[in-house]
């Protein structure tokens, strides 16, 4: 994010403050990706954002406070990409919608490794209080899978816990790949992840048919 000009620039104080806050959040996401949670300090975030330490504390009470804000920002960025991809479909086009949602999820991570890192890895291990947010984030994606989903192949509604397990399982797989340094290759996982997500709702045979149909 560009720094603002120094000195007299005619920008409103609110604008400057919002810009500083956004820069700090982006700064934290970058620094976190490079050095991990433990080594991320307020000074490093400030340096990266070109914001003084005293200005940092005007926006955030602590490193964790900034982390929480950055985490929310990261999750909302991903959510927006998924929702944009899903809105191309009618309500009744469940499996194409799930497919495009998952594709958007994978591409938003693959194109932004720092975003993937805070969302999938650091969000889980940055300490108590942070993983509450990871959990809330994972849960918040479950409705995108369940909305408009078909009944179980054997009849009856697919249990909520199955949707939770699918979303949690995807998050776990992606987190493992990000940790292993394979973030750029996440998009290759689309067929696997899609088949895994569709199977409990459509049955293995139908899920496979959809995947092989492309």
Question: Rounded to an integer, what distance in angstroms lies between the CA atom of residue 22 and that of residue 26?
Answer: 6
Quote the least distance from Cβ 52 to other proteins, whole Å: 30
Burial 164-199 (b: 16+ CB within 10 A, else e): eebbbebbebbbebbeeeebeebeebbeebbbbbbb
Residues 170-189 that bind other proteins (CB under 8 A): 170-173, 176, 179, 189
Q: Taking Cα atoms as reference points, which of 143, 165, 162 lies closest to residue 154?
A: 162
Q: Using the rule CB under 8 A, is 193 a contact of other proteins? A: yes
End-to-end CA distance of the chain: 38
Q: Quick check: 96 binds other proteins (CB under 8 A)?
A: no
| Furthest CA-CA distance within the chain | 69
Among 21-29, 46-54, 100-108, 164-172, the segment contacting other proteins (CB under 8 A): 164-172
Under rule CB under 8 A, residue 114 binds other proteins: no
**For other proteins, which stretch binds (CB under 8 A), given 17-25, 78-86, 101-109, 145-153?**
145-153
The interface with other proteins within residues 50-79 (CB under 8 A) comprises none
**At its nearest, how many Å lie between other proteins and the CB of residue 197?**
9
The interface with other proteins within residues 8-37 (CB under 8 A) comprises 36
Q: With respect to other proteins, which residue has the nearer C-beta, 49 or 102?
A: 102
The CA-atom distances, in angstroms, between 214 and each of 113, 164, 190 are: 27, 26, 11
Q: Does 199 bind other proteins (CB under 8 A)?
A: yes
**Which residue in 58, 2, 61, 54 sits closest to 27, CA to CA?**
2
How many other CB atoms are found less than 10 A from the CB of residue 38?
9
The single residue among 5, 8, 92, 214 that binds other proteins, judged by CB under 8 A, is 92
Confirm if 141 and 150 have CB atoms less than 8 A apart: no
CA 170, distance to chain mean position in Å, is 12
Least Å distance, CB 184 to other proteins, is 17
- Tell me which residues touch other proteins (CB under 8 A): 36, 38, 91-92, 94-95, 124-128, 130-131, 135, 138, 148-151, 153, 159, 161-162, 164-173, 176, 179, 189, 191-193, 195-196, 199-200, 202-209
């Amino acid at each position: 994010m560009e720094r603002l000009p120094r000195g007299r620039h005619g920008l409103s104080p609110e604008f400057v403050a919002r810009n500083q806050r956004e820069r700090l959040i982006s700064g934290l996401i970058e620094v976190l990706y490079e050095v991990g949670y433990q080594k991320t300090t307020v000074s490093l975030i400030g340096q990266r954002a070109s914001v003084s330490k005293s200005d940092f504390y005007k926006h955030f009470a602590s490193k964790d406070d900034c982390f929480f804000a950055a985490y929310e920002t990261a999750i909302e960025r991903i959510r927006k990409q998924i929702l944009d991809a899903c809105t191309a479909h009618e309500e009744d086009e469940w499996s194409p919608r799930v497919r495009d949602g998952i594709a958007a999820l994978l591409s938003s991570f693959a194109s932004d490794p720092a975003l993937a890192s805070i969302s999938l890895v650091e969000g889980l291990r940055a300490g108590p209080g942070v993983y509450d947010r990871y959990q809330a984030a994972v849960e918040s994606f479950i409705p995108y899978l369940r909305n408009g989903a078909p009944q179980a192949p054997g009849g009856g509604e697919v249990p909520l816990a199955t949707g939770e397990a699918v979303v949690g399982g995807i998050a776990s797989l992606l987190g493992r790949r990000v940790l292993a340094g394979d973030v750029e290759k996440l998009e290759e996982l689309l067929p696997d992840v899609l088949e895994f997500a569709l199977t409990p709702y459509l049955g293995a045979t139908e899920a496979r048919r959809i995947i092989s149909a492309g």
